[in-house]
Amino acid sequence: LHTGFPGEFVDSSERGFKSTLADRRLYLNAAAFYQDYTDYQLNAFNGFFFSVFPVPEVTSKGVDADILWRPSSAFTLQGGITYADTRYTEKNRALLSLTPSTARLPGERLNLAPLWSGSLSATHELPLGGGLLLRSNANVRYSSSYNAGTDLNPLKVQKSYAVINARIGIGDEDKSWGVEVWANNLTDKLYMQNSFDAPFQSGSINAFLGAPRTYGVTLRAGF
């Protein structure tokens, strides 16, 4: 079985800045980027196995920014946002149009490539006395809509969504031990991570879903 394919190469450029403000309590970074991929290796799943198909050219351009703010020693706010327009170009449209799995690609955004994505996290630490510390954290991750299928079938579009996680715990101030109660995907959001045509079931679609709501307890100890 021959599995060879051309190497993937990328020309990338980035311009941005990093700053420290408010007496080192605020950190703000931002950058604009452009990437040009040659022979992009499209990894497609057909329900049985993954195959790699080289796409002649893909471009990605956008802006990302992140912030870290510490208004006090007890509270930290951290977040970031990215706008990325990642698309197959029109190069070799005739070649890509020969097969149903690639016919929709020219000029369209890549699968699993939202235009907007972002995250925000808040952490609070409260001394309880006696060397104990109460620590709580909540974070949210947002994604705008994207197509979850490598063939960009419109039926495989995932709408925008947000996933919220949280944890609270108590432990020693020097972090030698701790116990945490946590929950991931608090709202039990249902979303697709990858979608593909169901084998031997024409017109049906299967998907790998994101993890559902989970919760538990974690014990930590250092020696």
**Site of tokens 């045509």:** 197
Confidence check: pLDDT of 118 > 90: yes
Q: Kindly report, residue by residue over 198-217, the tens digit of the pLDDT.
A: 887 877 899 999 999 999 99
pLDDT for the residue 1: 40
Confidence check: pLDDT of 131 > 80: yes
Q: Is residue 36 very low, low, confident or very high in pLDDT (cuts 50, 70, 90)?
A: very high
Q: Kindly report, residue by residue over 61-111, the tens digit of the pLDDT.
A: 999 999 999 999 899 999 999 999 999 998 878 878 878 888 899 999 999
Q: Is residue 3 very low, low, confident or very high in pLDDT (cuts 50, 70, 90)?
A: low
pLDDT for the residue 93: 83
Mean pLDDT of the chain: 91
- Distance separating alpha carbons of residues 40 and 86, to the nearest angstrom: 12
Q: How far from chain centre, in Å, is Cα 58?
A: 19
* Range scoring the smallest mean pLDDT among 46-55, 144-153, 178-187: 46-55
Instruction: State which of 46-50, 99-103, 177-181 shows the largest mean pLDDT.
Output: 177-181
Q: Is residue 2 very low, low, confident or very high in pLDDT (cuts 50, 70, 90)?
A: very low
- Distance separating alpha carbons of residues 88 and 81, to the nearest angstrom: 23
Percent of the chain predicted with pLDDT > 70: 98
Q: How far from chain centre, in Å, is Cα 161?
A: 12
Full-model pTM: 0.88
- DSSP classification of residue 47: S
Quick check: 6 and 39 in contact, CB under 8 A? yes
Longest dimension (CA), the chain: 72
Q: Is residue 149 very low, low, confident or very high in pLDDT (cuts 50, 70, 90)?
A: very high
